[in-house]
Structure 1
Amino acid sequence: MMLRTITADDMDRVIQIWFESSIIAHAFADPEYWRSKTEAMRTLYIPNSETWVWEDDENIQGFLSLNKNDLAALFVLPEAQGHGIGTALMDLAKSLRDELTLAVYTENTRSVSFYRKQGFTEIREQTDEHTGRRELIMAWKK
């Protein structure tokens, strides 16, 4: 197992993980919405973030993107979830920052629970302007 910064060669795999995980974690949203965001993830969001990947002997299984103190993305392949990868990525984020904020859909109860277990608290609830779905803004401080 290795945590390392993303390279250009990793982009296809990272986008695959993001897309597959997004469709499952956000089953309440139309998959076409996520498909429409693929190019922006590849050319805008990931390149403008500090991104780390979790890799085992075979392949990248998850990744984390930070944009300043915003936890912009934390995704683990669905079949690799529940094995400590998300926690390892979160531990890395906490070691790199003194405070973190994130947005998570209220309907994504598994992720909300994970973030609470990681010490995040709810700051406010709002409507995501892109999807019209309710989301929580959560924060963590050292």
Structure 2
Amino acid sequence: MIKGLEDSKIDSIMKIWLEANIRAHDFIPQDYWKANYEYVKKVLPEATIFVYEDGDEIKGFIGIIQETYIAGLFVSDKYQNEGIGSKLLEKCKDHYPALSLDVYAKNIKALNFYKKHGFKVTKEKENDETREIEYSMLWKMI
């Protein structure tokens, strides 16, 4: 079931956030993600968060900021390739007429995932903090 985030579940999604970032971004030192953990946890309530929950377990989540920007889409390692990310993304497409995001060029799996879901690359840039190339992507309802 997809629903809004309950404050009591923030630690659960932060665990997924950290594990998924380390796994998906092996080209960035783990310390970068660990150093940003507390900041992300602090600003998380400012985002619109949809969680995919089965029973009492959160299997994934997506965060939207500034009404259209996907700040992150994360699925627990244990539940990869079960369609959870697609369901979360489709939920957001039902609520927003346009969505944008940034994805690291080296994160081929995520890049292909977003392309499969109709996102187009609009810009290439260097991330100020990591110095890695990332693509800005956009999806618009037709």
Is TM > 0.5 for Structure 1 vs Structure 2? Answer: yes
Q: Matches of 2:69 and 2:99 in 1, distance apart?
A: 6
Q: Find the counterpart in structure 2 of residue 62 from structure 1.
A: 60
Question: Helix, strand or coil: the match of 1:100?
Answer: strand
Does residue 30 in structure 1 map to residue 34 in structure 2? no
Secondary structure of the 1:28 match is coil
- Name the residue aligned to 1:118: 117
1:53 aligns with one of 51, 54, 58: 51
Moved over 2 A (4+): none
Measured after TM superposition, the shift of residue 73 of structure 1 is: 0.9
- Deviation, structure 1 residue 48: 1.0
Stretches of structure 1 that go unaligned for 5 or more consecutive residues are none
Q: Read off the aligned partner of 2:115 and give its amino acid letter.
A: R
Match of 2:74 in 1: 75
Aligned match of 1:87 = 86
| Alpha-carbon separation, structure 1, partners of 2:17 and 2:119 | 22
Name the CA distance, whole Å, in 2 between partners of 1:110 and 1:78: 14
In the alignment, the residues of structure 1 paired with residue 96 and residue 117 of structure 2 have an alpha-carbon distance, to the nearest angstrom, of 14
Query: 2:2: which partner in 1?
Result: 3
* Identical positions, percent: 32
Measure how far apart 1:57 and its partner are. 2.2
C-alpha separation between the residues in 2 aligned to 1:139 and 1:115?
9
- Segments of 5+ residues of structure 2 without an aligned counterpart are none
AA matched with 1:96: H
Counterpart of 1:130, as a letter, is: E
Q: Aligned Cα RMSD in Å?
A: 0.7
**Corresponding residue SS for 1:37:** helix
1:21 is aligned to 20
Task: Tell me the TM-score normalized by structure 2.
Answer: 0.97
Partner Cα separation in structure 1 for residue 50 and residue 40 of structure 2: 15
Superposition TM-score, scaled by structure 1 size: 0.97
Structure 1 residues 58 and 7, CA gap change in structure 2 (3 angstroms): closer
